Amino acid sequence: MVQFVHPSREDITLAGVLAALADPMRLRIVKSLLGQNNDCMSCTEAMPCPGMAKSTLSNHFRILREAGLIQTTKKGVEHRNVVREADINARFPRLLKTILGYPE
């Protein structure tokens, strides 16, 4: 069974969050997840471009998860993801809103 690594709120670092969001594809994934009103999305639903290899997509989600930006749960054969907005805002108020407010 797959076990996902999710840092605790206190272990989320500014450097980790900024490094994860520095990649345009990961930034698009987070924007896509937040656009769903905090509903969970599968990795495929949040995919930033249709032709992306599954291994590349999995790597992007792993980086976002290890940075503390998303929470992933397994539901059947799907991995469901949601942005840990409350945790990020508790650590770094308005950071997500500020970063995501800029056009790509």
In a domain, 4, yes or no: no
In a domain, 2, yes or no: no
Q: Which residues, including other chains, have CB under 8 Å from residue 78's CB and lie 6 or more apart?
A: 42, 43
Q: Which domain CATH number covers 76? A: 1.10.10.10
Q: Give per-residue pLDDT as tens, 59-101.
A: 999 999 999 999 999 888 888 899 999 999 999 999 999 998 8
CA distance 19 to 60: 12
Q: Give per-residue pLDDT as tens, 32-54.
A: 888 866 567 777 777 777 788 88
In a domain, 50, yes or no: yes
CA distance 71 to 4: 9
pLDDT value at position 2? Answer: 66
In a domain, 19, yes or no: yes
In a domain, 3, yes or no: no
8 A C-beta contact, residue 83 and residue 30: yes
Report how many domains make up the chain. 1
In a domain, 104, yes or no: no
Q: What domain range includes position 86?
A: 10-99
Mark 42-60 as b/e (b = at least 16 C-beta within 10 Å): ebeebbbeeeeeeeebeeb
DSSP string, 48-64: SSTT--HHHHHHHHHHH
Percent of the chain with pLDDT over 90: 54
8 A C-beta contact, residue 69 and residue 88: yes
Q: Give per-residue pLDDT as tens, 66-77.
A: 999 999 998 888
pLDDT value at position 35? Answer: 82
